[in-house]
């Protein structure tokens, strides 16, 4: 008999999860139905021995890059086990055997293997910057050096959770306009390729010259319908060009600079960048990392090239002996309230507390900006869709209006 995990519907609305024992998949589904549930997903449960064997069969040294959620899961498990007083090697062995994802188990295996050979945890993860990132590595090293690895793992988990929340907020804000743009492209293509060619014979029968907008869209529609295979090529070229421009450093720097001059978008970029920046600074500072290294670690979180360059300049000034608040103020890119909090923290000797307050302030400000942008995007998208519909309607009906006027 085999154990099957299932996800099913109870009373046609509530989602339930569980396990049943059956000889095959069909019998498992029947058993679930007998329980009064409607099965939506049924799959065989892999045993721990299978998971161990899967990890063993992969050669050592093969470690894939960890995503944000993978790092959160790894850090969360490690922090809970460390808090329970379980040694790092045993904690990694547990993750190696029981983590949900194979790549997390592989990372745990490699880390455990090297630690057993005499390396420290910080030195071991430092060999995998692609898997963990320099910020993670720097904070773990600081926590291990200070003897507060458990607290550092908790801070790292909070930091990763915050990063995930910010990313989710920004992506959520951009999802609606992206959906509308894709929908608009589909509508335009359908109208050009299937609707406009139908009207061609009728317009030709009028024997009159078509308005330029109708003639242009009609020609485009006939071309796209005849050479339909150009549609994915054109769309792919457009998206590919956009992706190239966003990744090619000269164009990315120019885009980053221009985006900081657009009202409201400037606030979104600044606060989303500085939310991670200040959070990393606060965690690193509480972990006992020197202020210069705090700035270097925090600067790695900045995605806007213009902001990153200016903060690098400020870091050099701090390294030369200038106060942190003065150096950051000279960049003219950091919000004034954050600068005031940092200056107050420096003067009172409570910089860590003020950085924590600054983090809370940025979170509230970012929520307000995203809420405002969401409210603004909806009418803008309606105007865009309305404009597209108006152009298409004019192109179709202008020849008819002209014919009636002349008759």
pTM (two decimals): 0.66
pLDDT at 317: 92
Confidence of residue 118 (pLDDT cuts 50, 70, 90): confident
Same domain as 382, residue 302: yes
Q: Which residues pair with 21 in a beta bridge?
A: 3
Residues 191, 303, single domain; the answer is yes
Continuous segment of H or E residues that includes residue 281: helix 265-286
As a whole number of angstroms, the distance between CA 100 and CA 342 comes to 41
**Does residue 293 register a pLDDT over 70?**
yes
Mean pLDDT computed over 13-22: 74
**Do residues 106 and 15 share a domain?**
no
pLDDT, residue 327, reads 92
For the CA atoms of 366, 372, 375, 380, the dihedral, rounded to the nearest 10 degrees, stands at -110
What are the backbone dihedrals phi and psi of residue 38, each rounded to the nearest 5 degrees, phi first? -105, 110
- Three-point CA angle 399, 404, 406, nearest 5°: 95
> Quick one: 18 and 162 in the same domain?
no
**CB count in 10 Å sphere of residue 12:** 7
Assigned domain for 372 exists: yes
pLDDT at 341: 92
Positive or negative, the Cα torsion across 89, 158, 170, 135?
negative
Q: Do 174 and 33 have their domain in common? A: no
Q: 233 and 322: one domain?
A: yes
Residue 176 and residue 127 share a domain: no
| 174 assigned to some structural domain | yes
Which domain range does residue 333 map to?
149-407
- H or E, element range at 38: strand 37-44
Tell me whether residue 382 is in a domain.
Answer: yes
CATH code of the domain in which 249 resides: 1.20.81.30
CA distance 327 to 310: 10
Distance from CA of residue 158 to its chain's centroid?
17
**Is the residue at 60 inside a domain?**
yes
Task: Pull the structure tokens for residue 22.
Answer: 């059956």
Q: Quick check: 351 and 364 in contact, CB under 8 A?
A: no
Average pLDDT, the chain: 82
Number of structural domains found in the chain? 3
Identify whether 143 is part of a domain. Answer: no
Q: Which two tokens stand for residue 26?
A: 């069909």
Q: What is the pLDDT of residue 21?
A: 81
Cα 38 off chain centre by: 34
| Separation in Å, CA 128 to CA 125, 134, 137, 210 | 5, 9, 9, 65
Q: Are residues 90 and 230 in the same domain?
A: no
Say whether both 374 and 300 belong to one domain: yes
Tell whether the model's pLDDT for residue 45 goes beyond 70: no
Query: How confident is the model over 47-78, as pLDDT tens digits?
Result: 545 545 554 554 555 566 788 888 888 888 88
Among 21-25, 45-49, 129-133, the minimum mean pLDDT is found in: 45-49
pLDDT at 406: 60
343 within 8 A of 325, measured Cβ to Cβ: yes
Within a domain: residue 160? yes
pLDDT value for 48:
46
Shared domain check, 311 and 166: yes
Q: What is the pLDDT of residues 306-355, one digit of tens each?
A: 999 999 999 999 989 899 999 999 988 888 899 999 999 989 989 889 98
Contact criterion met (CB below 8 Å) for 136 and 261: no
Co-location of 230 and 273 in the same domain? yes
């Amino acid at each position: 008999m085999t154990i099957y995990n299932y996800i099913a519907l109870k009373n046609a609305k509530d989602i339930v999860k569980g396990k049943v024992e059956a000889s095959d998949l069909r019998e498992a589904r029947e058993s679930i139905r007998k329980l009064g549930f409607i099965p939506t997903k049924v799959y065989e449960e892999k045993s721990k021995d299978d998971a161990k064997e899967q990890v063993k069969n992969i050669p050592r040294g093969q470690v894939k890059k960890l995503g944000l959620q993978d790092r959160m899961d790894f850090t969360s498990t490690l922090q809970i086990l460390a808090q329970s007083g379980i040694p790092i090697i045993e904690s990694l062995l547990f993750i190696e055997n029981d983590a949900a994802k194979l790549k997390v188990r592989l990372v745990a295996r490699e880390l455990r293997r090297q630690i057993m050979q005499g390396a420290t945890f910080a030195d071991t993860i430092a060999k995998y910057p692609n898997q963990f990132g320099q910020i993670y590595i720097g904070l773990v090293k600081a926590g291990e050096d200070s003897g507060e690895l458990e607290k550092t793992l908790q801070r790292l988990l909070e930091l990763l959770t915050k990063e995930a929340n910010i990313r989710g907020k920004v992506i959520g804000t951009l999802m609606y306009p992206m959906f509308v743009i894709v929908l608009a492209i589909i509508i335009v293509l359908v109208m050009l390729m299937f609707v406009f060619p139908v009207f061609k014979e009728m317009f030709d029968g009028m024997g009159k010259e078509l308005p330029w907008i109708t003639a242009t869209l009609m020609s485009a529609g006939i071309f796209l319908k005849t050479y339909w295979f150009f549609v994915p090529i054109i769309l792919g070229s457009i998206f590919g060009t956009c992706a190239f421009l966003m990744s090619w450093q000269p164009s990315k720097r120019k885009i980053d600079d221009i985006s900081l001059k657009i009202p409201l978008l400037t606030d979104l970029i600044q606060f989303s960048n500085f939310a991670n920046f200040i959070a990393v600074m606060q965690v690193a500072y509480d972990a006992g990392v020197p202020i210069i290294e705090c700035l270097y670690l925090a600067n790695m979180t900045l995605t806007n090239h213009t902001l990153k360059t200016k903060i690098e300049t400020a870091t050099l000034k701090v390294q030369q002996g200038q106060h942190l608040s003065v150096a950051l103020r000279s960049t003219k890119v950091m919000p004034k309230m954050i600068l005031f909090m940092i200056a107050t923290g420096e003067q009172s000797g409570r910089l860590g507390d003020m950085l924590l307050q600054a983090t809370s302030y940025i979170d509230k400000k970012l929520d307000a900006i995203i809420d405002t942008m969401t409210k603004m995007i909806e009418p803008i998208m309606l105007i865009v869709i309305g404009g597209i519909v108006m152009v298409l309607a004019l192109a179709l009906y202008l020849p008819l209006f002209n014919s009636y006027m002349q008759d």
